[in-house]
Chain A
Amino acid sequence: MDKVKYVNIDGRDIPVEGEKNLLEVIRKAGIEIPTFCYVSELSTYGACRMCMVEVEGRGLQTSCSTLPEAGLKVKTNTAAVRQIRRVALELILANHERDCTSCVKSTKCKLQDLSRKLGVEQVRFRAVQKPRVVDEANPALVRNPNKCILCGDCVRMCGEVQGVGAIDFAYRGHEVVVQPAFGKNLYQVQCVYCGQCARVCPTGALTPKSETAAVWRALQDPARTVVVQIAPAVRVALGEAFGYQPGEVTTGKIVTALRMMGFSKVFDTCFAADLTVMEEGNEFIRRFKENRALPLFTSCCPAWVKYVEQFCPEMIGNLSTCKSPQQMFGAVAKGLFSREMGIRKEDMVVVSIMPCTAKKFEARRPEFRIDGAAEVDHVITTQELAQMINEHGIQFRDLQPGSLDLPLGFKTGAGVIFGASGGVMEAALRYVYEKVEGRTLESADIREVRGEAGIREAEIILGGQTFRFAVVHSLANARQVIAGIKSGERQYHFVEFMACPAGCINGAGQPVSLDQDYARSRTSGLYGADQMLQLRKVQDNPYLKELYAERLGEVGGERAHHLLHTGYTARRRMKGKSMVIVDGQAAGKLEIRVCVGTSCYLKGSQDILHHLAQYVLVKGLSDQVQVKATFCFEKCDKGPTIKVGDKVIGHCDVNKALAAVEQAVANGAGVTGRP
């Protein structure tokens, strides 16, 4: 057996037990080393210089990027260490927009926290950065570069963990800025609004976009009836803002608080999650029997859905057509329940409390409108709810628990675990198993699904057939799984995808924590809540049965389909210019556009473009015709796609393209304005 290695830290020998760097060993020894750019989930960057320590024989070293070699003698609190940390922090603060009192991140800001802890009392340096524009064109996130300290946590989160790469460093020296490509805003690029960048941002440079003002307005409008739904993950995290342990379930107090704030009905997204399982379970069984459009992909996570639409549009057919629980709730509340409450649906306002920033985007999707109005009017995050409770002055800890309203507040344990990675799959299996096998599950716990790994797979026997499924969280893992499915290397029938690491409980709208134990505690909070319920399978939810019997008709039937299902569209990643290849000048010129977006490019659109342009030049049409290489017609499933005039030609090849141009020209296109 290997001898135990020791590192000497401030005179104490500390064993090295597989820590990846010196910093982790020092923290294990009970010394909190300050950091901005070190997030254990991400790669080591070594930029913020806050974690400097003195290593005997080596001088000052960044502990995050020093290997914990045996025999190192480390001092963590010398005069030189304190001095260099202080100066580094002062330099960071010099360029930082220090409007702490009105910053949403105040009291949760790492920069503020470390400035206090390290005793910075003045900033001796002048700012060299000019004020930059705040990016808030999208519904989910606010990006304020003036508060950015360039730690790069967001860049690595977006690139490494999510595989999206919507933001990166640009320019150099004192002009460096973290931004989307070409200085566009987040709305114009491939951002999926998961908000994980905001979760790791140590300052207020990236924050969820607040909607609390609109919610207050609705609550205080006498003409409106405001109903609210609480997502599963909110109940195990909101308490953290009021001194409760992560994972402690505070549903009862949340209900009371919401009633005090003026919500007419307090319902539960878990009810809608039950409903989702019902519809999605049946959708799965149907596809499984018909062996069609498999593997089925879950569609409750709006960041994942946007990811598919942008990055793997050819898999859109695999997505479940079920709306997410949030949207099913909105559809049922406005479409069915408003009548029951005796109010017009125009007078009903539906508010969601979500752990998620992407839900803000989802609620605004044009697909999710009912008679012209949004199914869900406002989405606030767990953080925003905590702020509203504080703003109202409600003493959360002193509240008597209240109970959720019926019927849309009644749920089974299946709906509760939706908030954790693996929960959707487990909830679905509890239903699908009994439905297919025709017998009762002995235990509602399906442990094969649970765990922490980013890609988990298992198989069970279902109706005599081997049924293979996978549970995936974080989008870089999703990308890997999709690639495996495409190559045939991975074969499944059903896959659950969640964009956030560990699932919704770790969403960007939750109280901020980078401690992985928080995620664990919140997860076990949800499974504990599931365990406490008498009913743990959706098929046992009496109110759900009633809803189908009285209103929706058959599960997966026409009425249910109309209200609870949706469709998706291929979505371009970036709004931008086209490349002009042949620039005809004639007034009535024929416009030919060839998509060179990733999907079409991989299917050979470049070759089509080459032949088209050559054809145009050889035939002497260069004045009558304009040929452009463009990015995405949002018809990726039919790629390669070209557009001749107004005519879109899918599944295009060189011959089809040339024929289309020939015909258009023969019909006189482009000739009218010929000089």
Chain B
Amino acid sequence: MPTVMFRKFEKVCAILKKYNNDPGRLITILQEVQEEYRYLPEEVMAFVATSLGLSPAKVFGVASFYAHFALVPKGKYVIRLCDGTACHVKGSDGILQALYRKLGLDEKVPTTPDMLFTVETVACLGACGLAPVMVINEQVYGQMSPEKAVELVEDIRVREGSGNV
């Protein structure tokens, strides 16, 4: 555990150094920092602000503007369900409700208490031909159904439960 925190902090320092502490690269820096922590913790944003010579209010303004940045911790597996026109017509809402039911989540509580899953909707993933589409972290799954989605979640649960954490 301690080495993980230390490695993350060192990584943040390396990111800042890579971009020469240039405040013009704030978005890129926040993106890479988020990859380390899976969200942007307040104290890390404050550290980034200090290092770039920006006010923390400005950094928070940028971070809170973009949906891409998470201000609260997300699960290890982020499930993004497309709710664009094509996916919506093909029944994406049924998939969403099935996932919510399976994981005990809703719009206000999108992350499971064990920090394994976060469920979000996105406006369009640009893969309308495969509608309805779902993405888990970087992996794309097309022509989903409520049953298939729940199955994917169960698979992950089994995998994670078998000591692969």
Which A residues touch B3, using CB under 8 A?
617, 622
Q: Provided the pairs A166-B55, A606-B13 are in contact, do residues A583 and B42 lie with their beta carbons within 8 angstroms? A: no
Which A residues touch B24, using CB under 8 A?
none
> Are A577 and B43 closer than 8 Å at their CB atoms?
yes
**Is B64 an interface residue when CB atoms closer than 8 A count as contact?**
yes
Which B residues touch A189, using CB under 8 A?
56-57
Contacting A181 at CB < 8 Å: which of B41, B46, B47?
Answer: B46
**Is A201 an interface residue when CB atoms closer than 8 A count as contact?**
no
**Is B60 an interface residue when CB atoms closer than 8 A count as contact?**
yes
Contacting B42 at CB < 8 Å: which of A168, A576, A617?
Answer: A576
Which B residues touch A577, using CB under 8 A?
41-43
> Are A159 and B64 closer than 8 Å at their CB atoms?
no
> Are A171 and B64 closer than 8 Å at their CB atoms?
yes
**Is A180 an interface residue when CB atoms closer than 8 A count as contact?**
yes
Contacting A165 at CB < 8 Å: which of B6, B41, B57?
Answer: B57
Shortest Cβ distance from B13 into A: residue: A606
**Is B165 an interface residue when CB atoms closer than 8 A count as contact?**
no
> Are B55 and A582 closer than 8 Å at their CB atoms?
no
Which B residues touch A167, using CB under 8 A?
57
0/1 string, A602-634, CB within 8 A of B gives 1: 000010011001101100001100010101000
In the assembled complex, the CB of A222 is this many whole angstroms from the nearest CB of chain B, namely 47
> Are A574 and B46 closer than 8 Å at their CB atoms?
yes
Interface positions, chain B 68-98, Cβ under 8 Å from A, are none
**Is A65 an interface residue when CB atoms closer than 8 A count as contact?**
no
**Is A584 an interface residue when CB atoms closer than 8 A count as contact?**
yes
**Is B135 an interface residue when CB atoms closer than 8 A count as contact?**
no
In the assembled complex, the CB of B42 is this many whole angstroms from the nearest CB of chain A, namely 5
**Is A568 an interface residue when CB atoms closer than 8 A count as contact?**
no
**Is B100 an interface residue when CB atoms closer than 8 A count as contact?**
no
Rounded to whole angstroms, the CA-CA distance of A629 and B47 in the bound complex is: 9
Which B residues touch A623, using CB under 8 A?
2
**Is A169 an interface residue when CB atoms closer than 8 A count as contact?**
yes
Centre residue among B2, B9, B61 by max chain A CB count within 10 A: B2
Contacting A610 at CB < 8 Å: which of B10, B55, B57, B59?
Answer: B10
Shortest Cβ distance from B63 into A: residue: A170
Which B residues touch A406, using CB under 8 A?
none
Shortest Cβ distance from B44 into A: residue: A579
0/1 string, B19-44, CB within 8 A of A gives 1: 00000000000000000000001111
Shortest Cβ distance from B46 into A: residue: A576
> Are B64 and A170 closer than 8 Å at their CB atoms?
yes
Q: Provided the pairs A579-B9, A596-B47, A613-B9 are in contact, do residues A574 and B56 lie with their beta carbons within 8 angstroms? A: yes
Rounded to whole angstroms, the CA-CA distance of A623 and B59 in the bound complex is: 34
**Is A581 an interface residue when CB atoms closer than 8 A count as contact?**
yes
In the assembled complex, the CB of A185 is this many whole angstroms from the nearest CB of chain B, namely 12
> Are B9 and A629 closer than 8 Å at their CB atoms?
yes
Shortest Cβ distance from A169 into B: residue: B61
**Is A341 an interface residue when CB atoms closer than 8 A count as contact?**
no
**Is A578 an interface residue when CB atoms closer than 8 A count as contact?**
yes
**Is A172 an interface residue when CB atoms closer than 8 A count as contact?**
yes
**Is B45 an interface residue when CB atoms closer than 8 A count as contact?**
yes
Which A residues touch B109, using CB under 8 A?
none
**Is B18 an interface residue when CB atoms closer than 8 A count as contact?**
no
**Is A598 an interface residue when CB atoms closer than 8 A count as contact?**
yes
Count contacts between A and B, CB distance < 8 Å: 99
Rounded to whole angstroms, the CA-CA distance of A580 and B54 in the bound complex is: 22
> Are A171 and B55 closer than 8 Å at their CB atoms?
no
In the assembled complex, the CB of A661 is this many whole angstroms from the nearest CB of chain B, namely 15
Q: Bin the interface of chain B by size.
A: 20 to 34
**Is A232 an interface residue when CB atoms closer than 8 A count as contact?**
no
**Is B58 an interface residue when CB atoms closer than 8 A count as contact?**
yes
Interface positions, chain A 153-180, Cβ under 8 Å from B, are 159, 164-172, 179-180
> Are A601 and B50 closer than 8 Å at their CB atoms?
yes
> Are A165 and B47 closer than 8 Å at their CB atoms?
no
**Is A597 an interface residue when CB atoms closer than 8 A count as contact?**
yes
Which B residues touch A170, using CB under 8 A?
57, 60-61, 64-65
Rounded to whole angstroms, the CA-CA distance of A168 and B9 in the bound complex is: 27
Rounded to whole angstroms, the CA-CA distance of A627 and B47 in the bound complex is: 15
> Are B47 and A172 closer than 8 Å at their CB atoms?
no
> Are A581 and B9 closer than 8 Å at their CB atoms?
yes
Which B residues touch A182, using CB under 8 A?
42, 45-46, 56, 60
Rounded to whole angstroms, the CA-CA distance of A617 and B1 in the bound complex is: 11
Which A residues touch B41, using CB under 8 A?
577, 579
Which A residues touch B66, using CB under 8 A?
172
In the assembled complex, the CB of A514 is this many whole angstroms from the nearest CB of chain B, namely 23
> Are B5 and A181 closer than 8 Å at their CB atoms?
no
Rounded to whole angstroms, the CA-CA distance of A617 and B7 in the bound complex is: 11
> Are B46 and A168 closer than 8 Å at their CB atoms?
no
> Are A583 and B50 closer than 8 Å at their CB atoms?
no
Which A residues touch B57, using CB under 8 A?
165-168, 170, 179-181, 189
Shortest Cβ distance from B53 into A: residue: A598
**Is B121 an interface residue when CB atoms closer than 8 A count as contact?**
no
Centre residue among A169, A181, A623 by max chain B CB count within 10 A: A181
**Is B112 an interface residue when CB atoms closer than 8 A count as contact?**
no
Q: Provided the pairs A181-B55, A597-B50, A601-B50 are in contact, do residues A580 and B5 lie with their beta carbons within 8 angstroms? A: yes
Rounded to whole angstroms, the CA-CA distance of A159 and B44 in the bound complex is: 22
Which A residues touch B58, using CB under 8 A?
159, 165, 168
In the assembled complex, the CB of A256 is this many whole angstroms from the nearest CB of chain B, namely 45
> Are B50 and A579 closer than 8 Å at their CB atoms?
no
Shortest Cβ distance from A582 into B: residue: B2
> Are B13 and A172 closer than 8 Å at their CB atoms?
no
> Are A582 and B50 closer than 8 Å at their CB atoms?
no
Which B residues touch A171, using CB under 8 A?
64-65
Centre residue among A578, A580, A601 by max chain B CB count within 10 A: A580
Rounded to whole angstroms, the CA-CA distance of A181 and B6 in the bound complex is: 25
Rounded to whole angstroms, the CA-CA distance of A190 and B66 in the bound complex is: 25
Shortest Cβ distance from A597 into B: residue: B50
0/1 string, A116-127, CB within 8 A of B gives 1: 000000000000
Which B residues touch A582, using CB under 8 A?
2, 5-6
Which B residues touch A164, using CB under 8 A?
55
Shortest Cβ distance from B51 into A: residue: A601
> Are B2 and A617 closer than 8 Å at their CB atoms?
yes
> Are A576 and B43 closer than 8 Å at their CB atoms?
yes
Which B residues touch A622, using CB under 8 A?
2-3
Which A residues touch B2, using CB under 8 A?
581-584, 616-617, 622-623
In the assembled complex, the CB of B13 is this many whole angstroms from the nearest CB of chain A, namely 6
> Are A579 and B47 closer than 8 Å at their CB atoms?
yes
> Are B56 and A181 closer than 8 Å at their CB atoms?
yes
Which B residues touch A631, using CB under 8 A?
43, 46, 50
Rounded to whole angstroms, the CA-CA distance of A165 and B61 in the bound complex is: 11
Which B residues touch A617, using CB under 8 A?
2-3, 6
Sample (27) of A-B pairs whose CB atoms are under 8 Å apart? A159-B58, A165-B55, A167-B57, A168-B58, A169-B65, A170-B61, A170-B64, A170-B65, A171-B64, A172-B64, A179-B57, A181-B45, A181-B60, A182-B45, A189-B57, A574-B56, A577-B42, A581-B5, A582-B5, A601-B50, A601-B51, A606-B13, A610-B13, A613-B6, A614-B6, A616-B2, A622-B3
- Given contact pairs A189-B56, A577-B41, A582-B2, enumerate 14 new A-B contacts (beta carbons under 8 Å): A165-B58, A172-B64, A172-B66, A574-B46, A576-B42, A577-B43, A579-B47, A582-B6, A583-B1, A583-B2, A596-B47, A613-B9, A614-B6, A629-B43
Task: Enumerate chain A interface residues (CB-CB to B < 8 A).
Answer: 159, 164-172, 179-182, 189-190, 574, 576-584, 596-598, 601, 606, 609-610, 613-614, 616-617, 622-623, 627, 629, 631
Task: Enumerate chain B interface residues (CB-CB to A < 8 A).
Answer: 1-3, 5-6, 9-10, 13, 41-47, 49-51, 53-61, 64-66
**Which 5 pairs show the lowest CB-CB distances between chains A and B?**
A165-B55, A181-B56, A168-B57, A622-B2, A181-B57
